[in-house]
Structure 1
Amino acid sequence: MVTSDSPTPSHDAMREAAESHLRALAGDSARLREDQWTAIRALAADRRRALVVQRTGWGKSAVYFVATALRRAEGAGPTVIISPLLALMRNQIAAAERAGIRARTINSSNLTDWEETYADIAAGGVDVLLVSPERLNNPDFRDRVLPSLAAGAGLVVIDEAHCVSDWGHDFRPDYRRIRTLLRELPEGVPVLATTATANERVTRDVAEQLDAGGDALVLRGPLERESLHLSVVDLPDGSSRWSWLAQHLADLPGSGIIYTLTVSAAEETAAFLAESGYEVRSYTGRTEPEERRQAEDDLLDNKVKALVATSALGMGFDKPDLGFVVHLGAPQSPISYYQQVGRAGRGVRRAEAILLPGREDREIWAYFAGLSFPPEETVRQTLGALEAADGPLSLPRLETLVDLGRTRLEQMLKVLDVDGAVRRVRGGWTATGNPWSYDAERYRAVAEAREREQRAMLDYIAHTGCRMEFLRRQLDDPEAAPCGRCDGCTGRRPPTEVDPERRRAAAAHLDRPGVPVAPRRQWPTGMSRLGVDASGKIPESLRAEEGRALARFTDLGWGTELRRLLAPDAPDAPVDDRVFRALVEVLAAWPWERRPVGVVAMPSSTRPVMVTDLASRIAQVGRLAPIGSLEYAAPVGPRRHNSAQRLASVWHALTLGDRVRASLAEVPGPVLLVDDHTDTGWSLAVASRLLREAGAPAVLPLVLASAG
């Protein structure tokens, strides 16, 4: 391997070689920009650490592929690219192979290829290795592969480097482990960090993490996107936005992406547009990996008009001729919005970026804001549990000791891992015993920064001036100026009129009631520690059947109404006739094997009037036996956030009264179990177990709203 004091070619010869590699990568007419060459020279000749903040489409990948080719020609080891998404990895590998660069990837979808990849690296047959940030703390990879890989690397690249900073719009705790990797690199290994979406504060933070000595080269360019035409279409409700989309989608250039804020919104919108005659696919975190790849390929090949996607399709998806990006709902920050619209117009003269904000956007932002770093008491409780354990604790075992949902618990542990307070090992997590302090001031400041970003997004929607200038100023671009293309600059705004027939079709689709509620099939791990005698699979003889909800809280149609109806400050009152009729439609369309013969209500400490009245009216309209209500034998306590804690609270509190037991004996047959909403599903699971043990041959849960 070449060391930091090995001879390097002259700058002129290196520039000529760099231009040659670029032509192999991007075509015979390609030429390096001066700032691209500055970055390449800093890496390949000076072996420096550099941060490149440049707009999407600028050519950041060309910098690290050309630098890789130059370093490999000198005999250096492979380039390690830390990259966030599988879509990015696939695109980057294809680009590298076109330039004769041998690239491989290690990620969760190609487990069977890992050993072969390690052998190829050892044999010198790999020029570029792409890994996900999550892989850096996989115990096997971290302890077995990473040390030798870091020691032999010719170049390290951190793509989408804004994720390193918790001030960034898309902070990811796994990215902060990169600091540890950088500290352990041998002297003279160059490092490149790249991003298109970092304001001045994030840029400083990333640069400091890149090189604590302050010697990192920072190349920050203007963020103008000359092909993008930005506009906002503000419509009153979901059916208006859907009908506008169905009416105007065909007029948008080429193929593109329609972003939504939630998984259910993406799936619903894709279904509606397909019914309207469009070739579209949904793309979310719930989409199977093979379906994702096929959807990406279909969009790349223009076989679909659009992918209707969540942010799962974001960083790294590269389609130069993407003609439009439409947002059905506003992201939480202008910076995130700039990044997503930047997918469009890289290789075409004109691309449309249209925002269709929703009245429910702020409610969805508020939900995601609830996933912030937990309070100090919860963190200390977690550290105490790990310190008291006689070995590693898995996430399911920790859930019996700490009242946090799985995702939030794991995110917290990742931050503590980076801070040195815990460590991920085989079998789970352990405490290191290292001192750790709760940086309350920083966490509060980050939360306040998120609130400012949300207010700025609302300002963008209401803005009457240049939209591109607004976005560039949010990113602290010193060259921000009016673009002359957006609806604010030209005064030409997209039409807001919608065809009445399309609007009726959209409203009918949105008003379709009914979504499945999957039953719980497995008890959480370690429940004996909470005094609950339940483990393994839930026997079919004690399990609920698949239930039904009127809608999900995140749905575009009924979801909006149910969020208001079931809000914490909403009054406890019977549902109105419209909601009740929709619930009756759900019952009418339910393909149960055996018709229910009775109705049981769940007890409710917050909405007893609503739930009891709902069960009574369903019994009347369906001519079903009113069996009564379950009871709480003990206080159920505050709402719990994870499965183990929630199950324990209802297990010890929920009971069947004598009246319900007697009624079940008199009315043999399936029963409907009625509640206002379901979140974790454990209240319904425990109630179903009790009813099945008391003789009910089947339990069919029916709720107004489900969380998932």
Structure 2
Amino acid sequence: MVTSAAPGTTVGSDSAMREAAERHLRALAGDAARLREDQWAAIHALAAERRRALVVQRTGWGKSAVYFVATALRRAEGAGPTVIISPLLALMRNQIAAAERAGIRAHTINSANIDAWARTYAEIEAGAVDVLLVSPERLNNPDFRDRVLPELAAGAGLVVIDEAHCVSDWGHDFRPDYRRIRTLLRELPSGIPVLATTATANERVTRDVAEQLEVGDDAGTLVLRGGLDRESLHLAVVDLPDSTARLSWLAQHLDELPGSGIVYTLTVAAATETAAFLAERGHAVRSYSGQTDQEERQRAEDDLLGNRVKALVATSALGMGFDKSDLGFVVHLGAPQSPISYYQQVGRAGRGVDRAEVILLPGREDRDIWAYFAGLAFPPEETVRRTLDALAQAGGPVSTQRLEAQVDLARGRLEQMLKVLDVDGAVRRVRGGWTATGAPWAYDAERYAAVAAARKAEQQAMLDYIATDGCRMEFLRRQLDDAGARPCGRCDACTGRAWPVEIDPEQREAAAGHLSRPGTAIAPRRQWPTGMAALDIDAAGTIRPEHRAEEGRALARLTDIGWGNTLRRILAEDAPDEPVSDQVFQGLITVLAAWPWRERPVGVVAMPSATRPRMITDLAERLARTGRLEPVGLLEYTRPQGAGPRRHNSAQRLASVWHALTVPDRVGAALARIDGPVLLVDDHTDTGWTLTVAARRLREAGAEAVLPLTLAARS
């Protein structure tokens, strides 16, 4: 329980308030803790002046101390609980633990603790909650937004927006759900202070966030911005020729790095591969990504916090808010797209130690991966208008899944667009999906283009960081518009001391062997997409077993750090249509040899291709010869354009291939002559629907079973 002011003092006076604030800080951070002047300025603005403030300070500076101390002061005066909008469960767990150390009763509402919501609401009403942490996504949940949030906001003693750069679409990690905060601010009763905090905001983002904080408030936002240097960080870049060398280097030098730390990768596949290799080499590591089971993620975090592992090999899912004061190193296996994002991640290290190593191992393929993930720009106006029209004509709520049948956007991008439109007032999320509001809406093409240009500029700046011969810390601080940026005297450029680039031959051989292991599973589709009737496709519910493909295999994922590099090159849009190399072909043979199928295939069928007909037909013929399989032939398209341009979601892709694929008579006759499964060969699979429809057509034509085999899988 939060303690009140000491007897005989008045919290309303500045001296008494500061004395109480210092006491609360010591309860939170230890007897030696003292408030920084900017911490006190922020606390005073919140607790005494009831203002809105934006604090931009480096990680580890003590931003959470500001809102916990302000919470204690406000609660001692009888104010309601503090509402903290926080982006990640890891951050919430750390904040709750910190609050409990100071006697502050903190609870959270998020997707992982639904069973506890009712009890939490009851405790809030009973006054037994000092701090409530909610995710930004919760702000637009219809029930929470309409029933819980208004009452919660009206009774709040303080509202905190953590990682506030997410509010701005100029920020490196913009999230549409964060824009809902503007609506919350507009509806707050007067006199409720608001604090926004971030460690990674340049001047443009700072101005944008400060302006958004002023919504519904005439006093103006107090901005407290400090220097972003951390004297413990020793930055370095180790430029190596290929992914084998980078993996070898990491295995070779991991034990030389101080304490425990984080190895960041750009993709889930890279995190999995790297962790597996390092474990094979005897290192205590675990992988961590957005696809990791929630309980497993928490165990991994706990293992790192307890120094039971040398490192977590993680994607950016382990980013904002992970708090380990003695983290000794951060290594990046591949460069993030932005120096600002990079600095946010390396800021995890060196908070409570004298020296932390920060090493970037850039890859030649980084730009390809950036391009692969670059599809999150706001869609073109035609697509947005089509979405609004579809909602307007529906006459009721439409789920995201059903919208996919009418709008050619991938699920994640469609949901992101809808969230932006929701904040703009053009649509509204309700029970059962989304509805159009009918409110006028303008497509801000100039702003969207400027944001896209800013992203490209950030990528170039990251390349410039890698190539610079100047101080690396100064470079990063200038990207963040830190007025105090100057040479740090610690990085590899300042000291002239670079990490060695020589690779131990045994380590390289082991890394090469690991990365050359081919094969990734292709899970068969089991359910037709929702809403196909709207596209005149008679497919709904479960795919019948007698029409279904078996589990397939791809040589690798396009995002893999081993085979993925080769596959991205030979499957690039401007790559020539030619037979695959012997190396790639032998990789496929290895995949076939390790495939635990229920029954060995007896024939080979090739998919038709408008772009790589020579590659696919040659590959099918070579597989038939090598495996002594029956060359069944080639499926055909029913129209010259084939399946048409690439589609971005399941419903649209299924519609494009449903009537496009056919089994010619000669293939049907060949299927009648063989007894057993057939391989279905293609260059790559993306949504999986081309293989699904092809398998159905082959099963209907008499194939006993269909085993898809592709060079690449999209993810």
Shorter-chain TM-score category?
over 0.9
Deviation, 1:690, is: 1.1
- 2:299 pairs with 1:294: yes
- The one of 87, 100, 104 aligned to 2:103: 100
CA distance in 1, matches of 2:620, 2:373: 32
Aligned to 2:4: none
- 2:435 pairs with 1:430: yes
Aligned to 2:635: 630
Deviation, 1:576, is: 1.2
Q: Percent identity?
A: 79
- 2:656 pairs with 1:649: yes
1:571-601 per-position Cα deviation (integer Å, ceiling 9, x unaligned)? 1111111111111111011111100000001
CA distance in 1, matches of 2:109, 2:589: 51
CA distance in 1, matches of 2:495, 2:646: 51
Aligned to 2:669: 662
Q: 1:669–1:698: 8 Å Cα contact kept in structure 2?
A: yes
Q: Which amino acid aligns with 1:697?
A: E
- The one of 666, 679, 683 aligned to 2:690: 683
- 2:180 pairs with 1:177: yes
1:151-170 per-position Cα deviation (integer Å, ceiling 9, x unaligned)? 00000000000000000111
Aligned to 1:53: 56
- 2:308 pairs with 1:280: no
CA distance in 2, matches of 1:364, 1:134: 27
Deviation, 1:632, is: 0.8
Aligned length: 702
- 2:555 pairs with 1:550: yes
1:623-672 per-position Cα deviation (integer Å, ceiling 9, x unaligned)? 00000111111342211111000001100111111111111111021010
2:659 counterpart SS class: helix
- 2:705 pairs with 1:698: yes
1:212-270 per-position Cα deviation (integer Å, ceiling 9, x unaligned)? 44610000000011100000000000000000000000000000000000000000000
- The one of 31, 35, 55 aligned to 1:32: 35
Aligned to 1:3: none
1:370 counterpart SS class: coil
CA distance in 2, matches of 1:343, 1:639: 39
CA distance in 1, matches of 2:38, 2:114: 38
CA distance in 2, matches of 1:114, 1:691: 50
Q: Which amino acid aligns with 1:644?
A: A
1:541-570 per-position Cα deviation (integer Å, ceiling 9, x unaligned)? 111111000000000011011001000111
1:459-509 per-position Cα deviation (integer Å, ceiling 9, x unaligned)? 100111111011000000001111111001100011111101100110111
Q: Structure 1 length normalisation: TM-score?
A: 0.99
Deviation, 1:374, is: 0.5
Q: Structure 2 length normalisation: TM-score?
A: 0.98
Aligned to 2:610: 605
2:15 counterpart SS class: helix
Aligned to 1:114: 117
Query: Bigger CA drift: 51-60 or 655-664?
Result: 655-664
- 2:168 pairs with 1:165: yes
CA distance in 2, matches of 1:674, 1:284: 31
- The one of 225, 233, 252 aligned to 1:220: 225
CA distance in 1, matches of 2:524, 2:353: 49
Deviation, 1:423, is: 0.4
Q: Which amino acid aligns with 1:553?
A: L
- 2:261 pairs with 1:256: yes
Aligned to 1:498: 503
CA distance in 2, matches of 1:512, 1:119: 55
Aligned to 1:242: 247
Aligned to 1:707: 714
Q: Which amino acid aligns with 1:188?
A: G
Deviation, 1:390, is: 1.7
Deviation, 1:370, is: 2.0
1:30 counterpart SS class: coil
1:492-544 per-position Cα deviation (integer Å, ceiling 9, x unaligned)? 01111110110011011111111111111110001111111111111111111
CA distance in 1, matches of 2:219, 2:203: 15
- The one of 16, 19, 23 aligned to 2:19: 16
Structure 2 portions without partners, runs of 5+: 1-9
Q: 2:55–2:196: 8 Å Cα contact kept in structure 1?
A: yes
CA distance in 2, matches of 1:700, 1:523: 19
- 2:208 pairs with 1:205: yes
CA distance in 1, matches of 2:33, 2:558: 50
CA distance in 1, matches of 2:487, 2:541: 62
CA distance in 2, matches of 1:283, 1:540: 34
2:43 counterpart SS class: helix
CA distance in 2, matches of 1:528, 1:500: 59
CA distance in 2, matches of 1:371, 1:10: 50
Query: Bigger CA drift: 331-340 or 634-643?
Result: 634-643
Q: Which amino acid aligns with 1:640?
A: R
Q: 1:207–1:214: 8 Å Cα contact kept in structure 2?
A: no
- 2:326 pairs with 1:321: yes
Structure 1 portions without partners, runs of 5+: 1-6
Aligned to 1:673: 680
2:373 counterpart SS class: helix
- The one of 166, 177, 188 aligned to 2:191: 188
Q: 2:45–2:51: 8 Å Cα contact kept in structure 1?
A: yes
CA distance in 1, matches of 2:21, 2:545: 65
Deviation, 1:20, is: 0.5
CA-based RMSD of the aligned residues comes to: 0.8
Aligned to 2:350: 345
CA distance in 2, matches of 1:214, 1:580: 68
Deviation, 1:313, is: 0.1
Deviation, 1:8, is: 5.6
Deviation, 1:53, is: 0.2
Q: 1:167–1:202: 8 Å Cα contact kept in structure 2?
A: yes
Q: Which amino acid aligns with 1:170?
A: D
Q: 1:208–1:214: 8 Å Cα contact kept in structure 2?
A: no
Deviation, 1:702, is: 0.2
Aligned to 2:373: 368
Q: 2:616–2:682: 8 Å Cα contact kept in structure 1?
A: yes
1:274-324 per-position Cα deviation (integer Å, ceiling 9, x unaligned)? 000001000001100000000000000000000000000000000000000
Q: 2:51–2:219: 8 Å Cα contact kept in structure 1?
A: no
Aligned to 2:364: 359
- 2:476 pairs with 1:471: yes
CA distance in 2, matches of 1:254, 1:532: 58
CA distance in 2, matches of 1:685, 1:449: 39
Aligned to 1:80: 83
Q: 1:466–1:488: 8 Å Cα contact kept in structure 2?
A: yes
**Inter-CA distance 461–214: structure 2 relative to 1 (3 Å threshold):** farther
CA distance in 2, matches of 1:371, 1:141: 27
4+ residue runs over 3 A deviation = none
CA distance in 2, matches of 1:165, 1:180: 14
Aligned to 2:313: 308
Q: Which amino acid aligns with 2:183?
A: T
CA distance in 1, matches of 2:514, 2:394: 52
CA distance in 1, matches of 2:498, 2:645: 49
Q: 2:11–2:20: 8 Å Cα contact kept in structure 1?
A: no
CA distance in 1, matches of 2:600, 2:453: 53
**Structure 2 counterparts to residues 477-496 of structure 1, below 5 A:** 477-496=482-501
CA distance in 2, matches of 1:370, 1:526: 24
1:495 counterpart SS class: coil
Query: Bigger CA drift: 191-200 or 568-577?
Result: 568-577
Q: Which amino acid aligns with 1:683?
A: T
Deviation, 1:695, is: 1.9
Q: Which amino acid aligns with 2:408?
A: D
